[in-house]
């Protein structure tokens, strides 16, 4: 995920005007002011405004000094004002904080790219005006919005109103994994149309598409930015179900992104580790950037493995042996097991792969298929304590 930061890259003094160049962002210090005194987009204490019907997590959790510029930017950007003079008196840094907060709360602003230009007063340092980088021409936005709504509704139509909230959110996760290919070179990959229309994206496109569909279904979903342990910026989501919060990373659920498993066998199965996971699970690999304080994600009620009978709090030889044999008797293509403790997980790896505990299951398969040898593929995920054995 690319994120434009308000850090000066180089400075040059030209005829008394300071021109500062930032990565994909430009700031010009001007010696004039617009003269605006009253902001028509925001009145202090006013709690009634059109926010698109979504719960704005960043607006609600940033300090109140950002309220005015956030409200102004959202009102103007959602109205299609790609450039304008700014009423709110804010510093360049505060402008960027509010700007990214608006984009984090509102994925439906799909035409806004990853760069922008602001002009600020050379004396006061206050922002005078902005100009965004647009990825969709103004005359094409209505058509693009219609295509995005159609794609989102196609996903929602795969669910039923009688399903649980978890079941519907899980379906959105699966839809995006099934229909989007991870491609670091995909066009407009910081916007949701890369995922919902072009079907090729990176983490920002996956996360904004997921957020947009969840909003359309009436669910709380916020956008999280940060980095990953192996290096590089990243984006994912947090959802709320029954009053509890859970991390969701659709990008890491996509086997195309994940590539081969740790043992190099390349089992291409959907990864449910990153559907409704806790802080303890995701923070082993993900680090939020701290733009806002995130809600605690501590509940494991909607852990995919718990819900689907694949969770084992402790190691028990007979329980795991029976699970292996029942899996091959049913004709499953694979078996997945998540363990609740590190000790149970390490014991499982030793018993399964050093002592070859699964040999009886292989013997059953050889007899059933009339062959004399059988090869297995397996994967281990040490961060989530998950073991996958592929039978077929």
CA distance linking residue 328 with residue 166, whole number of Å: 29
Q: Is residue 4 part of a domain?
A: no
Q: Is residue 207 part of a domain?
A: yes
Indicate whether 227 and 327 sit together in one domain: no
- pTM for the full model? 0.84
Adjacent-strand bridge partners of 236: 224
Q: Is residue 336 part of a domain?
A: yes
Beta carbons within 8 Å of 194's beta carbon, 6+ residues apart: 186, 187, 188, 200, 201, 202, 205
Q: Are 27 and 119 contacting, i.e. CB atoms less than 8 angstroms apart?
A: yes
Indicate whether 165 and 284 sit together in one domain: yes
What is the pLDDT, as a whole number, of residue 45? 63
Query: How many domains does one find in the chain?
Result: 3
Please tell me the least confidently modeled range out of 146-150, 181-185, 242-246.
181-185
Indicate whether 130 and 148 sit together in one domain: no
If you search the block for the tokens 């072009």, which residue do you land on? Answer: 198
Q: Is residue 3 part of a domain?
A: no
Indicate whether 17 and 152 sit together in one domain: no
pLDDT in tens, 282-318: 999 999 999 999 999 999 999 999 999 999 999 999 9
What is the pLDDT, as a whole number, of residue 50? 67
259 pLDDT higher than 70: no
Q: Are 189 and 202 contacting, i.e. CB atoms less than 8 angstroms apart?
A: yes
- Give the CA dihedral 175, 287, 165, 312, nearest 10 degrees: 90
Q: Are 191 and 111 contacting, i.e. CB atoms less than 8 angstroms apart?
A: yes
**Which of 88, 90, 53 is closest to 72 using CA atoms?**
88
Q: Are 225 and 217 contacting, i.e. CB atoms less than 8 angstroms apart?
A: no
For residue 345, the enclosing domain spans 311-390
Q: Is residue 73 part of a domain?
A: yes
Boundary-marking domain end, from 106, 134, 162: 134
- Residues written for the chain: 392
Indicate whether 296 and 169 sit together in one domain: yes
pLDDT classification of 258: cutoffs 50, 70, 90: low
Indicate whether 146 and 284 sit together in one domain: yes
* CATH number assigned to the domain comprising residue 167: 3.10.620
User: What would the mean pLDDT of 156-175 be, rounded to a whole number?
Assistant: 95
CB atoms within 10 A of CB 389: 23
For residue 89, CA distances in Å to 43, 48, 70, 86 come to 14, 22, 12, 8
Indicate whether 235 and 143 sit together in one domain: yes
Indicate whether 232 and 158 sit together in one domain: yes
Indicate whether 285 and 322 sit together in one domain: no
Boundary-marking domain end, from 112, 134, 156: 134
pLDDT in tens, 343-390: 999 999 999 999 999 999 999 999 999 999 998 888 888 989 999 999
């Amino acid at each position: 995920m690319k994120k434009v930061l308000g850090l000066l890259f180089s400075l040059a003094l030209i005829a008394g005007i300071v021109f500062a160049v930032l990565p994909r962002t430009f700031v010009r210090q001007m010696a004039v002011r617009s003269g605006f005194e009253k902001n028509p987009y925001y009145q202090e204490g006013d709690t009634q405004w059109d926010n698109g019907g979504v719960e704005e997590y960043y607006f609600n959790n940033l300090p109140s000094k950002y309220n005015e510029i956030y409200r102004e930017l959202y009102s103007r950007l959602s109205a299609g004002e790609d450039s304008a003079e700014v009423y709110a008196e804010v510093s360049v840094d505060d402008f960027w904080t509010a700007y990214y907060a608006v984009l984090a709360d509102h994925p439906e602003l799909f035409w806004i790219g990853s760069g922008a230009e602001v002009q600020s007063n050379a004396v006061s340092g206050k922002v005078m005006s902005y100009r965004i980088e647009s990825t969709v021409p103004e005359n094409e936005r209505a058509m693009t919005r219609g295509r995005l709504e159609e794609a989102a509704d196609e996903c929602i139509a795969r669910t039923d109103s009688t399903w649980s909230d978890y079941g519907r959110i899980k379906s959105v996760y699966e839809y995006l994994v099934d229909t989007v290919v991870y491609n670091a070179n995909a066009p407009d990959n910081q916007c949701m149309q890369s995922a919902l229309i072009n079907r090729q994206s990176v983490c920002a496109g996956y996360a904004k598409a997921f957020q947009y569909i969840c909003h359309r279904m009436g669910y709380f979903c916020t956008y999280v930015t940060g980095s990953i342990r192996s290096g590089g910026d990243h984006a994912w989501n947090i959802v709320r179900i029954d009053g509890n919060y859970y991390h969701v990373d659709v990008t890491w659920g996509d086997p195309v992104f994940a590539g081969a498993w740790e043992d190099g066998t390349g089992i291409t199965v959907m990864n449910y580790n990153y559907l409704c996971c806790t802080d303890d699970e995701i923070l082993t690999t993900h680090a939020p950037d701290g733009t806002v304080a995130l809600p605690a994600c501590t509940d494991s009620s909607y852990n995919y493995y718990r819900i689907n009978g694949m969770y084992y709090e402790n190691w028990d030889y007979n329980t795991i042996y029976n699970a292996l044999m029942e899996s091959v008797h049913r004709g499953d293509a694979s078996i997945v097991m998540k363990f609740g403790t590190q000790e149970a997980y390490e014991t499982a790896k030793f018993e399964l792969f050093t002592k070859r505990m699964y040999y009886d299951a292989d013997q059953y398969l050889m007899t059933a298929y009339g062959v004399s040898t059988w090869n297995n593929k397996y994967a281990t995920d040490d961060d989530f304590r998950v073991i996958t054995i592929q039978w077929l």
